[in-house]
Every structure is written in C-alpha cells, then in structure tokens.
Amino acid sequence: MEYTDFGWLVDHGQELFEKYRGKWIAVHNEEVIGVGETATEAAAAARKKQPDGDFILEALDTEVDVIYGGLRLA
C-alpha cells in the first residue's frame, strides 16, 4: 500500500500538533509546505511552493473543523 499524505499526518500528528498548534498547515509529499493562521493563508503559502500540485489542509486545533482537499467535513 502506498504511503499517503493522510497517513503521514496520522503518523506524525503529535509532533505536528506540538509544532503548529493553533495553525493551519498544508501537506504535500509528506512535507509541510504551507502554514497560516487560516486555511486561506496556509493554502496561499502552499501554492507558492506547489502552484499546480494538490495538498491537504489540516487544522491543528481541537476547536476548528478540518478541511481536506477543499471539502469541508463536519
């Protein structure tokens, strides 16, 4: 089975939470490529590094809903 960015997020969740708590991150190819106070900021930072690529947006805060691939999950 291919290792995915989602799997990487799960495997590294605690360390990512400790480093980026309260922020949004964008992940591509097992790397954080964007960080921001909002999903929009993290996505904008990610697009500078990966203009044509896909990435996952993740909120590292227990009080915020999570967005995956542009779809809001309740």
Domain boundaries, the chain: 5-72
> What local confidence, expressed as pLDDT, does residue 54 receive?
87
Whether the Cβ atoms of residue 16 and residue 50 lie closer than 8 Å to each other:
no
> What local confidence, expressed as pLDDT, does residue 62 receive?
63
> What local confidence, expressed as pLDDT, does residue 52 receive?
84
Q: Which two tokens stand for residue 20?
A: 């980026």
Q: Specify the pTM.
A: 0.77
Longest dimension (CA), the chain: 33
pLDDT along the chain (74 residues), means of 10: 77 91 93 95 94 88 55 42
> What local confidence, expressed as pLDDT, does residue 48 receive?
95
